[in-house]
C-alpha cells in the first residue's frame, strides 16, 4: 500500500510538517510505503483555466499543465491513501495548497453531473493547524472551510476526514515578534502538553487510513 502526504506549509519541522510525519509513521506501522511531498519545494502554478481536462474526447482526466507538479499528480493517481496538510493563513489554506488543490481536484470534477473520473476510491484526510482556539472556529467560519474541503475530497476520492490542531505555537521565542495578541508562554506550554496529543491523534489517523 502506498500512502502520500502533501505538506502545504512553507515551514519544515514545525506544526503541520510534524503532524504529517506522525500520520505517515502510523501508516508505516501497518506496512505501508509512504512519501511526503513539500509543496514549497516545487515550481508550479495553480489552474490556468485552459480547460484541456474538459475537452470532448479527452481520455486523460488529470491536469495537462507541464511543470514541476506533473510528476506528483501522477504519483497521487497511483497511491492508495492521501493526506493533505496545511496551516490556516488569512482564514484559509495556504496559497500553495490552494493552487495544488485546483490542479488535483478540478480535472476529476465533471460539469455534466457525472461521478468523479479519478477511477477508484481511496481513503483521504486533511490535517489543519491554526492559531485560532477550538471554541472560536464556528464564530469565525473555519468549520465551513473544513466541511467544504471534506465534501470536495469525498466527491473525488471517497471517504475523507480531517484533524484539527488549534492554538498552535508559532515560535520558540515570542518576545522577538510584535504579536502581543498571543500569550507566548501559554502557547509554548500548550506545545509541550497538548501538541503531543495531536501527534498521537495524527499517528492513529495514519493507521486508520490504511484500513480496508
- Domain locations along the chain: 2-209
* Statement: 2-209 belongs to CATH 3.40.50.300: no
Q: What is the pLDDT of residues 154-180, one digit of tens each?
A: 999 999 999 999 999 998 889 899 988
Which of helix, strand or coil describes residue 5?
Answer: strand
**Grid cell in block for residue 177:** 515578534
Q: What is the pLDDT of residues 77-111, one digit of tens each?
A: 999 999 999 999 999 999 999 999 999 999 999 88
pLDDT at 58 over 80: no
The percentage of the chain sitting over the pLDDT mark of 90, rounded to a whole number, equals 83
pLDDT at 66 over 80: yes
For residues 97 and 92, give the distance between their C-alpha atoms in angstroms, rounded to a whole number: 10
Kindly report the length of the chain: 212
Q: What confidence score (pLDDT) does residue 159 get?
A: 94
Exposure string of 22-55, with b = 16+ CB inside 10 Å and e = fewer, is bbbebbbeeebebebbbbeeeebebbeeeeebee
Does the predicted model carry a pTM greater than 0.75? yes
Predicted confidence band of residue 138 (pLDDT cuts 50, 70, 90): very high
The percentage of the chain sitting over the pLDDT mark of 70, rounded to a whole number, equals 99
SS (H, E, C) 82-145: EEEEEEEECCEECHHHHHHHHHHHHHHCCCCCCCCCCCCCCEEEEEEECCCCHHHHHHHCHHHH
For the ranges 125-134, 153-162, 179-188, 201-210, the lowest mean pLDDT is seen at 179-188
The per-residue pLDDT of the chain, averaged, comes to: 94
Amino acid at each position: 500500500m502506498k500512502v502520500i502526504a502533501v505538506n502545504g506549509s512553507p515551514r519544515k519541522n514545525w506544526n503541520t510538517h510534524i503532524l504529517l510525519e506522525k500520520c505517515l509513521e502510523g501508516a508505516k506501522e501497518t506496512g505501508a510505503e509512504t512519501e511526503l511531498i513539500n509543496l514549497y519545494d516545487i515550481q508550479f502554478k495553480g489552474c490556468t483555466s485552459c480547460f484541456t481536462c474538459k475537452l470532448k474526447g479527452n481520455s486523460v482526466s488529470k491536469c495537462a499543465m507541464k511543470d514541476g507538479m506533473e510528476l506528483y499528480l501522477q504519483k497521487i493517481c497511483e497511491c492508495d491513501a492521501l493526506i493533505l496538510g496545511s496551516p490556516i493563513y488569512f482564514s484559509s489554506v495556504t496559497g500553495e495548497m490552494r493552487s495544488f488543490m485546483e490542479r488535483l481536484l478540478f480535472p476529476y470534477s465533471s460539469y455534466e453531473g457525472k461521478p468523479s473520473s479519478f477511477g477508484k476510491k481511496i481513503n483521504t484526510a486533511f490535517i489543519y493547524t491554526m492559531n485560532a482556539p477550538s471554541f472560536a472556529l464556528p464564530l469565525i467560519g473555519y468549520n465551513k472551510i473544513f466541511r467544504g474541503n471534506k465534501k470536495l475530497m469525498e466527491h473525488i476520492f471517497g471517504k475523507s476526514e480531517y484533524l484539527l490542531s488549534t492554538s498552535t505555537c508559532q515560535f520558540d521565542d515570542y518576545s522577538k515578534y510584535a504579536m502581543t495578541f498571543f500569550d507566548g508562554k501559554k502557547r509554548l506550554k500548550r506545545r509541550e502538553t497538548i501538541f503531543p496529543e495531536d501527534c498521537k491523534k495524527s499517528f492513529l489517523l495514519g493507521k486508520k487510513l490504511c484500513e480496508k
